[in-house]
Amino acid sequence: MEFIRTALNLLFGANPELRQIIGVTLRMSMFSTLISALLGIPIGVWVGGNEFKLKGWVTRLMNTLMGIPPVVGGLVVYLLLSRSGPLGSLKLLYTVTAMVIAQVILITPIIASMTANVVSIRANSIRETCHGLGIGNHQRMRLMLAEFRVPFISIVLAGFGRAIAEVGAIQMVGGNIQFKTRVMTTAIMMQSNMGHFELAVALGVVLLLISFAINSFVYRLQKGWQRV
């Protein structure tokens, strides 16, 4: 079909703007996923692997934040980073950094909640084993991180999927500025609004191809870890 040929021409053609858009998309998605994983996985392991008085409330809060509307997260970051906001002096609005911050707010609860659900399944047996062996809390945390490393890859990959597909929050705090903060999703939305549907579909195919390539690489990595 015509849009597939257009997508291939975009992907393999000498288009400096598309290369820049892909670069910003990958940089934003990977940094936001990495930061969210570094925050969300330890939180999820701690919540899922321990029993405490407010665990039910914390779990419900994390599950609620999983569904936070992207525009709400974007609005919070926008108000913080705007000129009249508390962090306005940093001049981060309409930058890739602001987009990463918005993404972290959206993705961290997803990773934390999914991690807590996975860890809680075997938390009791691991906790009893560690207690019998005299293993402390710090070492038990490290043991859980190692024990669940394979499902953690799937969780991080889910966070990456949310990051690379996001449009509402990054449009609000990034501004869709050409050669600066324009990413694949905002470019698709812009082309759709302009009536260039064939180009918008072609850009969507390019985005899917990129996502498929990254997922294939992570899948091979996950299979390798499972064999080990």
Mean of pLDDT over the chain: 84
In tens, the pLDDT along 12-61 reads 565 677 788 888 999 999 999 999 999 999 899 888 888 888 888 988 99
Give per-residue pLDDT as tens, 185-210: 998 888 888 887 777 777 888 888 88
- CA-to-CA distance for 199 and 16, rounded, in angstroms? 16
Domain count, the chain: 1
Predicted confidence at residue 100, as pLDDT, reads 95
H helix count then E strand count, the chain? 10, 0
**What are the CA-CA distances from residue 105 to residues 36, 83, 119 (Å)?**
8, 20, 22
Amino acid (one-letter) located at 175: G
Query: What residues make up the domain containing 111?
Result: 2-227
Are the C-beta atoms of residues 25 and 164 closer than 8 Å to each other? Answer: yes
As a whole number of angstroms, the distance between CA 83 and CA 94 comes to: 12
Q: How confident is the model at residue 1 (pLDDT cuts 50, 70, 90)?
A: low
What is the tens place of the pLDDT at every residue in 99-146? Answer: 999 999 999 999 999 999 888 887 777 777 777 666 766 777 777 777
CATH number for 35:
1.10.3720.10
